[in-house]
Amino acid sequence: MVIAERRLTAVRPAAKPVLVTVQVGCPARAASPAEGDWYCSIRIKGFGRTRTQSFFGVDQLQALQFALGILEREVQAFVGNAQITWLGQSDLGLKPWMPDGLSRKDGAPAP
């Protein structure tokens, strides 16, 4: 089951723009606990092909964190030499971030 999706635009030299779709799956229990108790899959589609990978963790959150943490690198590897954008910007918005004002260790907004 897909829980999140982002659509990007990729352009290779001397070619038309191509839609690249990035999907993140819902963490699920692993069939083989030897790799990890949970996994989270990502799927990247574009240029007439699809790549799916799973990332394992000890719980649902860790599996999701691993998948999201490596997502931008996987997208870049998938598109190769293509220039890729999101909403017309080179920042794909795939790196982990923290909202402004959350600087305290307990997560409460800074005074």
Q: Tell me whether residue 109 is in a domain.
A: no
Q: Which domain covers residue 71, as residue numbers?
A: 2-85
106 compared with 93, residue with greater pLDDT: 93
Q: Tell me whether residue 111 is in a domain.
A: no
The tokens 């963490």 sit on which residue?
27
In terms of Cα–Cα distance, which of 2, 8, 11 is closest to 74?
Answer: 8
Mean pLDDT for the chain overall: 88
Number of domains the chain contains: 1
Tokens of 72: 């931008």
pLDDT at 104: 56
Percent of the chain past pLDDT 90, that is, above it, reads 73
Q: Tell me whether residue 91 is in a domain.
A: no
Q: pLDDT digits over 5-54, tens only?
A: 999 999 988 889 999 999 999 999 988 766 669 999 999 999 999 999 99
106 compared with 26, residue with greater pLDDT: 26
Burial grade of 53 (CB within 10 A; 0-12, 13-18, 19 or more): middle
Query: Does residue 97 surpass a pLDDT of 70?
Result: no
pLDDT at 14: 86
Q: Tell me whether residue 64 is in a domain.
A: yes
pLDDT at 26: 97
CA–CA gap between residue 80 and residue 87 (Å, rounded): 20
Type and span of the H or E element at 45: strand 38-46
- What is the pTM assigned to this prediction? 0.82
4 compared with 100, residue with greater pLDDT: 4
User: 3-state SS of the chain: helix, strand, coil percent to 5?
Assistant: 20, 40, 45
CA–CA gap between residue 62 and residue 19 (Å, rounded): 29
